[in-house]
Amino acid sequence: MSERALLARFDLVADNPENIPLLRHYIVDLAIRGKLLDKSALDISAPEMLKRIEAKADSLIKQGKLKKQKPLAPINAEELPATYIAHCTFERLGNVANLQKGLTGIQSAMPGKFPLVVTAATRSTCDHFDFDGAAAIVPMVSSTGHGHASLNRLHYQEGKFALGTILCAVFPIDEELVSARFIFEYLTAFKDDLLVSKMNGTANVTLTVGKIAEVPVPIIAPAVQRRVNELMALCDQLQAAQNEREAQRDRLVTASLHRIGTAPATADEAETGNEITTPLPEAARFHLAHLPRLTTRPEHIKQLRQTILNLAVRGRLVPQDPNDETAVELLKRIQAEKARLVKEGKIKKDKPLPQISEEEKPFTQPTGWEWVRMQTAFDVRDGTHDTPKYVECDGVPLITSRNFIDGKISFDDVKLISWSDHNSIKQRSGVDRRDILYSMIGGNIGNQVIVDTDREFSIKNVALFKYYTKKESLPEYLNLFLKTMTIGLQNNAVGGAQPFVSLSLLRNIPFPIPPLAEQHRIVAKVDELMALCDQLEAQLTTTQTDSRRLLEAVLRDALAPVMEETAL
């Protein structure tokens, strides 16, 4: 492979984090198929390698340095990808390597001068070492757990190191013939097929040393393995450069978004009079002008979305207009309508709510805005906490947060309750079009929908935000405010296996209410910027796809001379 040709063009594709793993996979693939080096460079045959490894194992067993293993079954052709059968000899990993389970309890390990390899990407430290040598390291527990088999990463480690008990170290029996680095790269390239597929369990999905020993590995000439290792060192350099570039970009994005949310408006921006003021700081305009360069990963766009919402509810996304009716006047009309509903017996009179202290206000309200408790501006209720008896047919859907799909209510796979139970629930928590439903229990805390149907249904374990007067309320503004509160509410949830947010907590949330006209401007601007974020996400997906295709073309071009020589 021409490293110069690859490096000269790799900057065109290096922004895609998937490209370097793709390059590593491609190198391993070429090695297995015998297309990485000319055949004349091969220094030993596969049968001779296996013969020498077996002799080395016998010698180590006699010396007491290696335990004798039970014979492993021969490899069936069905275990191998058809692409490789004609190109390479395979052997069980347990016949060419010494597999050792980790010896150090991760939680009880004392910090020290030796690296402690754990499942995370970053090494811990330990006051002792368990092994000394080069090893490929395989985690033996699922990265996600909860019945799902997956491995985020494998590790490569050299020298003296400690190893957590939930990992397995793979040491080649004959290091001159089999490279631990090559085994690591091979297992990483095909980990889903070779390792994840062998994991089992229900709640705890695990991989045993015995299963790892059964993995078929290619027996490749040491010269090819050395070439693989050289190219992987090149990939390491590319990865390090990419990590540094991404770290710098992350710092720039974080600093830029932080400045957007905290920097005060300039004197010109803050100037008021009869004209509409412009609170959006210069930092925001700079960031928006350079979005394509600053947003190169999904995390960046997620950060941007959250910043847009935070600016919106702080009154810094759109101008304030001194000609708008103030929030105080708006609240007077809402309170008048609330008093009428209480007098007519349609809602109950609330207990007096405490005044909002200055410590509770996360920011200074803009001119024309007002701080109120949520229950002052909205009628906050909750659905039933009991489980009514379900019926098979002629019933009413019982909606929970699991029925919130992409901001909509899904009536697919919904359970039904009787009309009598529904009417009983409806007396307390009847749902109307344009109300907001908010998940208040379990892992879905914060999921919400604006009701867009007149269909009858009841709700369970869901908060209901109703309006004293729809004419004076804008659900979309409340919706985006609640989105900004989600992380805080999740952190304040109580309970064990099923954490929940209390109705009292929701009712007492300090709510910054803008003039109604400004609410409409905020919602329109948020919609505009979120549409831009949608475009950026679509563009990012397209860019990554194009980048991957470009890398494949670069690889084909860089490898063309090798391919031609191999064909000869």
pLDDT grade for 268, boundaries at 50, 70 and 90: very low
Looking at the domain assignment, is residue 39 inside a domain? no
Q: Of 201 and 215, which is predicted with more confidence?
A: 215
Q: Are residues 351 and 470 in the same domain?
A: yes
Mean of pLDDT values over 251-272: 50
pLDDT for 8: 54
pLDDT for 221: 93
Q: Are residues 316 and 367 in the same domain?
A: no
Looking at the domain assignment, is residue 38 inside a domain? no
pLDDT for 256: 56
Of residues 60, 39, 2, 22, the one with CA closest to residue 220: 39
Q: Of 226 and 9, which is predicted with more confidence?
A: 226
Q: Are residues 52 and 165 in the same domain?
A: yes
- Among 198, 220, 242, give the residue marking a domain's end: 220
pLDDT score of 229 more than 80: yes
pLDDT grade for 39, boundaries at 50, 70 and 90: confident
pLDDT score of 265 more than 50: no
pLDDT for 380: 93
pLDDT tens for residues 123-165?
999 999 999 999 999 999 998 866 789 999 999 999 999 999 9
Range name among 128-137, 167-176, 240-249, 281-290 with the lowest pLDDT average: 281-290
Of residues 307, 310, 333, 558, the one with CA closest to residue 468: 333
Q: Are residues 292 and 421 in the same domain?
A: no
pLDDT for 423: 92
| Average pLDDT of the chain to the nearest whole number | 84
Q: What pTM value is reported for the model?
A: 0.59
Mean of pLDDT values over 49-71: 93
- The residue assigned the tokens 């503004």 is 477
pLDDT score of 237 more than 90: no
pLDDT for 225: 93
Strands 114-117 and 135-139, bridge-based pairing: unpaired
Q: Of 439 and 282, which is predicted with more confidence?
A: 439
Residue 206 CA to residue 188 CA, distance in Å, equals 17
Mean of pLDDT values over 288-313: 73
**How crowded is residue 152: how many other Cβ atoms within 10 Å of its Cβ?**
12
Q: Which residues have C-beta within 8 Å of that of residue 410, sequence separation ≥ 6?
A: 403, 404
pLDDT for 1: 44
Range name among 84-93, 129-138, 300-309 with the lowest pLDDT average: 300-309
Q: Which two tokens stand for residue 530?
A: 């979120």
pLDDT for 329: 95
Mean of pLDDT values over 201-217: 91
Residue 192: how many CA atoms within 13 Å on its side-chain side?
A: 2
- What domain range includes position 161? 44-220
* 494 φ/ψ angles, rounded to the nearest 5 degrees: -120, 165
Q: Are residues 383 and 490 in the same domain?
A: yes
pLDDT grade for 568, boundaries at 50, 70 and 90: very low
Domain count for the chain = 3
Q: What percent of the chain has pLDDT over 90?
A: 51
Looking at the domain assignment, is residue 37 inside a domain? no
pLDDT tens for residues 375-389?
999 999 998 888 888
Three-class DSSP category at 43: coil
Residue 523 CA to residue 305 CA, distance in Å, equals 14
Q: What percent of the chain has pLDDT over 70?
A: 82
Q: Are residues 116 and 209 in the same domain?
A: yes
pLDDT score of 349 more than 70: yes
Q: End-to-end CA distance of the chain, in Å?
A: 16
Mean of pLDDT values over 279-307: 63
Q: Which two tokens stand for residue 270?
A: 């803050």
Residue 563 CA to residue 30 CA, distance in Å, equals 9
pLDDT for 287: 52
pLDDT grade for 269, boundaries at 50, 70 and 90: very low
Looking at the domain assignment, is residue 338 inside a domain? no
Q: Are residues 201 and 247 in the same domain?
A: no
Q: Are residues 86 and 209 in the same domain?
A: yes
pLDDT grade for 184, boundaries at 50, 70 and 90: very high
Q: Which two tokens stand for residue 515?
A: 């003039």
Q: Are residues 244 and 281 in the same domain?
A: yes
Segment of 479-488, 547-556, 557-566 carrying the highest mean pLDDT: 479-488
pLDDT for 275: 36
Q: Of 552 and 512, which is predicted with more confidence?
A: 512
Looking at the domain assignment, is residue 286 inside a domain? yes
pLDDT for 427: 86
pLDDT score of 270 more than 70: no
- The residue assigned the tokens 């209720």 is 381
Looking at the domain assignment, is residue 36 inside a domain? no
DSSP string, 321-348: -TTSPPHHHHHHHHHHHHHHHHHTTSSP
Q: Which residues have C-beta within 8 Å of that of residue 407, sequence separation ≥ 6?
A: 448, 449, 450
Mean of pLDDT values over 56-67: 93
pLDDT score of 271 more than 50: no
- Among 514, 544, 560, give the residue marking a domain's end: 514
**How crowded is residue 136: how many other Cβ atoms within 10 Å of its Cβ?**
27
Q: Which two tokens stand for residue 52?
A: 């020498």
Looking at the domain assignment, is residue 331 inside a domain? no
Q: Of 495 and 190, which is predicted with more confidence?
A: 190
Q: Are residues 396 and 411 in the same domain?
A: yes
Q: Are residues 365 and 402 in the same domain?
A: yes
pLDDT score of 566 more than 90: no
Residue 231 CA to residue 208 CA, distance in Å, equals 31
pLDDT score of 170 more than 70: yes
Looking at the domain assignment, is residue 560 inside a domain? yes
Q: Are residues 377 and 475 in the same domain?
A: yes
Provide the CATH number for the domain around residue 490: 3.90.220.20
Range name among 274-283, 308-317, 359-368, 526-535 with the lowest pLDDT average: 274-283
